[in-house]
Chain A
Amino acid sequence: MKNHAHISMLSRSNNVGLARLAAATFASELDFTLNELEEIKVAVSEAVTNCIIHAYPLEEGVIEIDLEIAEDQLIIVVEDKGVGINDLEAVLQPNYSSKEEHMGLGLAFIDSFMDRFELNSEPGKGTIVKMYKTPEKLKKRQEGNVLN
């Protein structure tokens, strides 16, 4: 199975809901449970919120979201052309936060709710978050096939 969708949107808070609903709707083509779709919604919400708060703190910019289904795996890429991250290692530390009331939970949620994620950034150029998730049901089926 293969599918692809792309969303390009302004870094406005009101667009976060659109991003997560679009991602969950797209993902529902795979055999995800409702809980897994909720997890995808949270992960996308966190990634897009990061763009709004951190990548474009002073003025609006564009956020590009790529949704892809390849070999029963969902791949979501959230990309901005904002300020970038100076210290990637620090950002990946648990509870890291540069803003009060944000707790540093955003990336922790992405880490918990997706199978894996990659974070690439260049100061002054932008940031790319790439997230992967395969439905648990499919993983079990694949494991079963291997065992048989």
Chain B
Amino acid sequence: MDITTELAGNTLIVRLSGDLDIATVSAFREKVIPESEEAEVEVLLLNLSKVSFIDSTGIGAILGRYRFLEKKGGKLVLVGLKAPVKRIMKMSGILEIMPEYSSEKKALNDIAEGRIA
């Protein structure tokens, strides 16, 4: 799994590429946990447009970040879910608690204007 990050104001953008499962979840945690726990980070934007497979292990890791951010009043936003990934996430119920956008631009606009729920 390839993971790149970028800090844009109070938003940590994390771009993932590959499968998010038990084989890659440690890399996700090692990179994303410390960076998302930096004081200035209020929103975590997860760009999954290059993720073609996710299972309950991957969903669990995303949920872990959601819970952390929620506790400190932050948000987690999902971007670019491919159809199979979206289906699994929908079934897990995760899309009922996290907003989902088709592009980073749209998500960042809503974040900047304070429009995310």
Contacts and interface: CB of A to CB of B under 8 A. Distances in A.
B21 A17 contact: yes
B16 interface: no
A26 interface: no
Interface string A29-57: 00000010010011001100100110000
Given A16-B23, A49-B21, A52-B22, A105 B84 contact: no
B contact residues, range: 10 to 19
Contact of B56 (A17, A35, A106): A106
Contact of A101 (B61, B88, B91): B61
A105 B23 contact: no
B55 interface: yes
Interface in A109-143: 109, 112
A101 B60 contact: yes
B59 interface: yes
A14 interface: yes
10 contacts: A14-B23, A16-B22, A16-B23, A20-B53, A35-B84, A38-B87, A53-B22, A101-B63, A103-B56, A103-B63
Contacts of B42: none
Contact of B21 (A38, A45, A103, A112): A45
B56 A109 contact: yes
A102 interface: yes
Contacts of B56: 46, 49, 102-103, 105-106, 108-109
B99 interface: no
A6 B61 CA distance: 31
A65 to B, nearest CB: 15
A49 B22 contact: yes
Most chain A beta-carbon contacts within 10 A, residue among B22, B91, B92:
B22
A25 interface: no
